Amino acid sequence: MYDIAIIGKGPAGISAAINAYARNKKVIIFGQDSKKILWAPSIPNYAGLPDITGTEFMERLNDHLNKTDAVVVNKNVLAVYSMGTHFSIQAETEMYEAKKVILATGVDFKKTIENEDKFLGSGVSYCATCDAPLYKGKTVAVIGYNHESIEEANFLATVCSKVYFVPQIKEDLSKLNEKVEVVNGKPLKFEGAFSAEKLVLDNTEIKADGFFVLKDSYPLTSLVPGLEVDGPHVKVDKNMETNIKGLYAAGDVAGKPYQIAKAVGEGQIAALNACENL
Amino acid sequence: MVMHVTDSNFQNEVLNSDVPVLVDFWATWCGPCKMLAPVIEEVAQRMEGEVKVVKLDVDENPVTASQYGIMSIPTLVLFKDGKPVGKLVGFRPADQIESAIRGALNL
């Protein structure tokens, strides 16, 4: 059992990890490098580091994180469940346990596809690794919002009889398995009686047994059942604690302004408060 | 111990049961299913006499899994009088499972 699990490896998450480590806590941190930071051509307003580039800043953050003994897990967290005395965290097919959790996922304004939440678990899945065996010999469609979705589509092609790939990213698709059929279009909604049977796009439709929506972050309410949110943000108190005891949020996911210094500060507040009574 | 059911005895053990039955659809390769196993044992103990709790391996018993449209595991389906009356997808703590069962059965 870890003392503190941190979901997200941007400035808020790494700041939380560094501070929790300083308090001698056993820390696990999930996620990939923050793309928002990596893509920043320059960061002009972070005190003490004038004109640092996003890539350099991310490198510094990782160097600092590597000086701690926090366990880094490069996996997508699909769900965080409050168990009363602790939390269970599902990262793809693995489960982890921690006494407290800090959400530092960043904020995602991408709208979900209509009926995506309604059919989640009934023909819509967020995890190819988890659910692929249930679609053995069947037809599936992958709606890919990230680079990893290309690999996941190739993996599904080894299990399923037919795989459609609906890219929502500008990526080189030449690495796609030849069994995967690319369908270009904007996904609008899922339709079906009891489970998702059809994806309606702006220019066509795809019928399949299962639909994999693969992206970097998932709706907060499906990530943490029972979490109080305000639009794309998690509601927090001045200690950065959410409505769920022992669950904190920091950085962009906790609200505006979307600034690195604010994220780093909130990561620290969340970590130091989480460390109390541990 | 929670009993394991199969395609061949599903009719007898679940559909023809006098008491409501909670079926845990799981597989050996599924991490969250392993976490759910002790939770399911706890629910079985708490609700002994009110609800029967069984497990079904979806790899070994594809007919039943497909019949009830199991598309993500773990999935818990509650059966009453031979019909599904409630479904929970994904790992849940025992309290949530128990309250969902009580809600579905008006207990």
CA A270 – CA A15 distance, rounded (Å): 10
The per-residue pLDDT for range A95-139, each reduced to its tens digit, is: 899 999 999 999 877 778 999 988 988 899 988 988 898 999 999
Chain A residues with CB under 8 Å of B96 CB are 225
A28 part of a folded domain = yes
Q: Which among A90, A122, A133 has the least Cβ separation from residue B27?
A: A133
> Do A101 and A221 fall into the same domain?
yes
Q: Are A146 and A203 in a shared domain?
A: yes
Please report, for residues A101, A156, A227, the alpha-carbon distance to residue A212 in angstroms, rounded to integers and kept in the order given: 27, 10, 24
Same domain, A208 and A221: no
Range of the domain at A175: 124-214
Q: Count CA atoms within 13 Å of residue A19 on its CB side.
A: 21
| Domain extent listing, chain B | 3-105
**A49 and A178 belong to one structural domain:** no
As assigned by CATH, the class of the B3-105 domain is: alpha beta
Query: Does the predicted interface ipTM exceed a cut of 0.95?
Result: no
> Strand A187-191 vs strand A180-182: parallel, antiparallel, or unpaired?
unpaired
Indicate whether A142 and A85 sit together in one domain: no
Count structural domains, chain A. 2
Are A242 and A190 in the same domain? no
Which residue on chain B is closest to A223 by alpha carbon? B90
Could you tell me the CATH number of the domain that includes residue A190? 3.50.50.60
Q: How many Å apart are CA B59 and CA A122, to the nearest integer?
A: 18
Sequential pLDDT tens for chain B (107 residues):
799 999 999 999 999 999 999 999 999 988 889 889 999 999 999 999 999 999 999 999 999 998 998 988 999 999 999 999 999 988 888 888 999 999 999 98
Rounded CA separation A126/A36 (Å): 22
**Burial degree of A26 (CB within 10 A; 0-12, 13-18, 19+):** middle
Query: Of all helices (H) and strands (E), which one includes residue A87?
Result: strand A87-91
B69 is catalytic: no
B11 is catalytic: no
Q: Token digits for A199? A: 């994806």
Single out the catalytic residue among B7, B17, B27, B30.
B30
Interface of B with A (CB under 8 A): 27, 29-32, 34-35, 58-59, 65, 69-73, 75, 89-93, 95-96
Q: Are residues A234 and A265 in the same domain?
A: yes
